[in-house]
Structure 1
Amino acid sequence: MTTKVFTLSSPDIKEGHFMAKDHEFDGFGCDGKNISPELNWANAPAGTKSFAVTVFDPDAPTCSGFWHWLVTDIPLDATGLARGAGKGSLPPGCRSFTNDYGSKNFGGACPPEGHGMHRYQFTVWALPEETLPADNGASAAVVGFMLNAMALGKATLTATYAR
């Protein structure tokens, strides 16, 4: 018996490759278009009732990385998010949490100039509940904790960026 692997793919970003300027933030000294890439997933684990998507930079010069996007309660029938969905055009019922830019929308890449290559981990999480049990005002760290504690599976696509 072959087990299908939970996967995440995108026509806009590729594993280990440099992201386009379209996905760069439009603030903090950056002048990109701040467009979230199209994301597609397949083969969710049995028992999945909803999905979440996060974008995290573990290379940010902080003590805790940098959260760029946190979306939960994505309906089970969703198989992805459209390009640009991070500007507020998510499927009905989704919840967004405040990222480290202070916004609930997608916040693109904006590593400090000369800081070297940063990794941007786009992750889809398969969850056993329709709603993540976190308050709407929960911090990114709490959302990340809840996702790690509950996930039936996850798939990550890591793109890179530098300035």
Structure 2
Amino acid sequence: MHMRCLVVSLASSWRDRSLALGAMLALFAAHSAGARADGPFTLTSANVRGGGTVQSAQVFDQNDCKGGNHSPQLTWRNAPAGTRGFAITMFDEDAPGRGWWHWAVAGIPATVDSLPENASSSGFLQKLGAVEARNDFDTDGYGGPCPPPGKPHRYIITVYALNSDKLRLAQGRPALMFDHEIGTAAIGSARLVVNYGR
């Protein structure tokens, strides 16, 4: 009889320990999940949406294009671990030849997760210590969409998470050079593809 009670007691004790261990593992898993990013690296904008049409405020403002030439408001979330800075580009993949660079900016601090509308020409980026490339309109900073009349073009706006805040870039260097340097330090990216035609 005593032996039977001992076996039951040991079995109960083993079950309790197993339950306690299971509960501890569940708590550990929940804590670990909370320590990770809440989701994928994403990019959103108050001015444009993925698959949508670029508004007049973001369109180029020279020649036969009559827009505001304001760089769009951008917000990004859940950058990968190890991010030490950000860069942003805007590229027209439908332009003839090698495509058309509309914007490239690097040197955005890792503490920043959004840019206001018109950050390019308002001085906001300069205050952050960021540098902007010379775009394919041959001007420094943002140059909005201005495709030839016909089929709408697709514009790829990309934010890059970088593992370095020391890129070999300076204000006014060609956008293609920015693209190369950004590519050497990128550890993640998020993008929006928007459309514009005339």
TM-score (norm 1): 0.92
State the 1:137 CA deviation. Answer: 5.0
Greater C-alpha Rg:
2
Give 5+ residue unaligned stretches, structure 1.
Answer: none
Instruction: Output one character per residue of 1:12-42: Cα deviation in whole Å (capped at 9) or x when no partner.
Output: 1000111111111001320111111100001
Instruction: Output one character per residue of 1:71-126: Cα deviation in whole Å (capped at 9) or x when no partner.
Output: 10001110111011121321421011111111112101100112x11011110000
Structure having the higher strand fraction is 1
Which residue number corresponds to residue 57 of structure 2?
Answer: 22
Distance 1:137 1:161, change over 3 A: closer
Which residue number corresponds to residue 119 of structure 1?
Answer: 154
Which residue number corresponds to residue 89 of structure 1?
Answer: 124
Q: Are 2:181 and 1:143 aligned?
A: no
Instruction: Output one character per residue of 1:42-70: Cα deviation in whole Å (capped at 9) or x when no partner.
Output: 11111110000111101112x21111111
1:45 equivalent among 80, 87, 105? 80
Corresponding residue SS for 1:152: strand
Amino acid corresponding to residue 75 of structure 2 in structure 1: N
Distance 1:134 1:84 in 2: 22
Which residue number corresponds to residue 99 of structure 1?
Answer: 135
Distance 1:105 1:49, change over 3 A: same
1:5 equivalent among 40, 45, 52? 40
Which residue number corresponds to residue 98 of structure 2?
Answer: 64
* Cα RMSD, aligned residues only: 1.5
Which residue number corresponds to residue 32 of structure 1?
Answer: 67
CA contact (8 A) 2:140 2:172 kept: no
TM-score (norm 2): 0.76
CA contact (8 A) 2:131 2:169 kept: no
Aligned residues: 161
Amino acid corresponding to residue 20 of structure 1 in structure 2: Q
Distance 1:126 1:105 in 2: 20
Question: Percentage identity across aligned positions?
Answer: 40
State the 1:143 CA deviation. Answer: 1.4
Distance 1:27 1:132 in 2: 31
CA contact (8 A) 2:156 2:194 kept: yes
